[in-house]
Amino acid sequence: MLTQRLLLSDRGGMIVLGLVLATMILVPICNLLVPETSALHISTFTVTLLGKFLCYALLALSVDLIWGYCGILSLGHGAFFALGGYAMGMYLMRQIGPRGQYGDPILPDFMVFLNWKELPWYWQGFDMFWFALLMIIVVPGILAFVFGWLAFRSRVTGVYFSIITQALTYALLLAFFRNEMGFGGNNGLTDFKDILGFPIAASGTRISLFLASGFMLILAYIACRYIVTSRMGKVIVSIRDAETRTRFCGYKVESYKLWLFVFSAILAGIAGALYVPQVGIINPGEFSPLNSIELVVWVATGGRGTLFGAIVGAFTVNYGKTVFTSYSPETWLFALGALFVIVTLVLPKGLVGLFNRTKKAASKQNPGNPPPGNPAPATAPSVTPNMGTSTENFISAETPVIAAVKEPV
Amino acid sequence: MNIFSHKRYSMGQKDPNFGAPLDTTHRTILYVEGVTVSFDGFRALNNLNLYIDEGELRCIIGPNGAGKTTMMDVITGKTKPDEGSVYFGQQINLLELSEHQIARGGIGRKFQKPTIFEALSVYENLELATAADKRVWWTLSQQLNSAQKYRIDEVLLQIGLAEHRYKNAGSLSHGQKQWLEIGMLLMQNPRVLLVDEPVAGMTGEETEKTAELLLSLAGEHSVIVVEHDMKFVRSIARKVTVLHQGSVLTEGTMDQVQNDPKVIEVYLGE
């Protein structure tokens, strides 16, 4: 029953997850087993690129959960992504050990360069992988909790909330630029050597990271489906549509928003952590407000409020970006802007809505459903409020013909 | 609207003990005493005193700006008054509670404009309103039990929407939306129902049905109806309270009220 609820009833999601799974099976085969001379060979570069897209898709999913379902438009989700990325980056830095330029056994190169004598307290523990994993979840989670607690409790909503999330990511951008912060300043963290003992640039490692990203995406998708199909999911949609009513139904709206926001931030952090070892660098640029806005464009393009639409959007826009920037990098931002305008004007439900529209048009030719908005007055002739005392009325609304026949009785 | 003007509510507030039977030894379920609310110097409520009995159907009328909606805001926790006290039964001080706690405790409110969850079906609307544990972690795994399902069926019949149970709430007619909202209040097993302009924009037939629905609810619940439509008020009213400039002008039966020279002056003087 749970599979029915989570997956089978969600056709679009099944298709998208199926494609992700198929890629996860085919790409490693084409990369590792097919010889390089063959036309079917996929280069390690492409594997990394696809792995990156999977991380973006996970990030987009996290935004769709709060924006599409709860109506909270966060324009600072890149911040959680970057924090997860930094946590992973710190682990990777500690793995370099004495192999750095300056050969210090413990201090990363940039600290030696700054003449630091010992490791700052917040770098402690990052030599252990489990600790880094914990921080990837805890750091974005706590930031989201504190930030959300303050914002939702003061009932900051709508565009005001968007603006302060934007300010949040910008503030972090400026902070991480500073050398004294101890996160590598402008250059960020890079020159990674290996992860869990495996060389980070090797094909095998890249494939594993790619698979891990795909696996996380599927897992996160199922978790999100679980949330949105539960009663909590209905409460969340209610908050989006009629917040006051939800409150007067006895729900503590602030708590719902807060926990959803924290969960979403954790997903974004995990996406960042998977992203960093694949691209090999994390720098304050990831906190750039522009990144967070672009991310919202992916979700809008794919179609918000569907979960799988976010994945479709992340892949489409980023593929477009890859193609565009290799031909004419100057025009990409114009194309992105145009895309956003077109999607908003022509496809308010995104690419996914386009498919649904064609599907609906097909089912319209098939009669049988009563027209929407038909109040079926034939079955409600009584003036008493208890007008539906017979259980037959349950059926009659679905079949107006029967109702009309019954009317004289 | 200034977003920072909202009162801050602590997130750690404890729910009062609503499980215990409500203490209504003096038959009064709701005490509103000496309540004053000012907005930028304008007194929306001015030393308002109002007592509602258990099971009573009370109509509240008054010209625009008399403070009817503000009064509902105070009772349901949306607005905190500058002065005065509001008690639910003898024991529960409503001014210490936030909206969701008051709603859980048994005071339901219908808004002037029908507010329902348009994206969900009629059934799901009632499901969400069902009295149950409404904390975040519980709703993640909660399912309706058979008693709750039975209650939803009951309410669907009561509000006359049984045949529309799977319909999208957004596609209901205006009158049906109003009934659905009343149904959502009923799902919370309320002791007091606050109903703000239930028949605005309704057809004659719908108005009549609404009147019967509200009359059938009184007795089991205390019902407070705020309405402009005098014909409607006459058809349901037993006791009428007239508000004027934020305080009670007069109280009595519809005939008494209509013949009261103060009331005539207020209404004709407009």
Is residue A409 in some structural domain?
A: no
Nearest to B82 by CA among B30, B42, B28: B42
Long-range contacts from A16-25, C-beta under 8 angstroms, 24+ separation: A16/A308, A16/A311, A16/A312, A17/A218, A17/A221, A17/A308, A20/A54, A20/A57, A20/A214, A20/A217, A20/A218, A20/A311, A21/A214, A21/A218, A23/A50, A23/A214, A24/A210, A24/A211, A24/A214, A24/A215
C-alpha to C-alpha distance for A28 and B99, rounded to whole angstroms: 55
Task: Output phi, psi for A282, to 5 deg.
Answer: -135, 125
Instruction: List the domain range (segments joined by +) for residue A263.
Output: 2-317
- For B207, which residue in chain A has the nearest alpha carbon? A383
Which among B11, B111, B172 has the least Cβ separation from residue A149?
B11
Is residue A161 in some structural domain?
A: yes
Flag whether pLDDT at B6 surpasses 50. Answer: no
- Distance (Å) from the alpha carbon of B7 to chain A's nearest alpha carbon: 8
Secondary structure of residue B87 in the 3-state scheme: strand
Flag whether pLDDT at A407 surpasses 60. Answer: no
Task: Output phi, psi for A36, to 5 deg.
Answer: -60, -25
Range picked from A159-173, B83-97, B231-245 for highest mean pLDDT: A159-173
Q: What is the mean pLDDT of residues A44-71?
A: 96
Flag whether pLDDT at A404 surpasses 80. Answer: no
Tokens of A202: 């090797």
**What value of ipTM does the predicted structure carry?**
0.84
pLDDT (0 to 100) of residue B20? 55
Flag whether pLDDT at A11 surpasses 60. Answer: yes
C-alpha to C-alpha distance for B263 and B259, rounded to whole angstroms: 8
- For B172, which residue in chain A has the nearest alpha carbon? A373
Tokens of A211: 């698979």
Is residue A394 in some structural domain?
A: no
Mutate to test the interface with B, among A69, A156, A224, A231 (most CBs of B within 10 A): A231
- Summarised one tens digit per residue, pLDDT across range B181-209 is 999 999 988 989 999 988 888 888 999 99
Q: Quote the distance between the C-alpha of residue A392 and its chain's center.
A: 46
C-alpha to C-alpha distance for A409 and A396, rounded to whole angstroms: 14
- Distance (Å) from the alpha carbon of B268 to chain A's nearest alpha carbon: 34
Is residue A367 in some structural domain?
A: no
Flag whether pLDDT at A316 surpasses 80. Answer: yes
Tokens of A406: 């019954």
Mutate to test the interface with A, among B18, B138, B163, B217 (most CBs of A within 10 A): B163
Q: Look at B163 and A244 and tell me if their CB atoms are within 8 Å.
A: no
Which among B119, B142, B160 has the least Cβ separation from residue A237?
B119
- Summarised one tens digit per residue, pLDDT across range A141-155 is 999 999 999 999 999
- Summarised one tens digit per residue, pLDDT across range A235-256 is 999 999 999 999 999 999 999 9
- pLDDT greater at residue B81 or residue A392: B81
Is residue A15 in some structural domain?
A: yes
- Quick one: what percent of chain A has pLDDT higher than 90? 67
Q: Look at A154 and B129 and tell me if their CB atoms are within 8 Å.
A: no
- Summarised one tens digit per residue, pLDDT across range B44-63 is 999 999 999 988 999 999 88
Which among B120, B134, B162 has the least Cβ separation from residue A394?
B162
Q: Look at B140 and A235 and tell me if their CB atoms are within 8 Å.
A: no
Supply the mean pLDDT for chain B: 86
Task: Output phi, psi for A323, to 5 deg.
Answer: -65, -50
- pLDDT greater at residue B258 or residue A280: A280
Is residue A360 in some structural domain?
A: no
Count of CA atoms in the C-beta half-sphere (13 A) of A267: 28
The model's pTM is 0.86
Is residue A401 in some structural domain?
A: no
- Summarised one tens digit per residue, pLDDT across range A170-217 is 999 999 999 999 999 999 999 999 999 999 999 999 999 999 999 999
- Distance (Å) from the alpha carbon of B88 to chain A's nearest alpha carbon: 16
C-alpha to C-alpha distance for A72 and A278, rounded to whole angstroms: 30
Counting the structural domains of chain A, the total is: 1
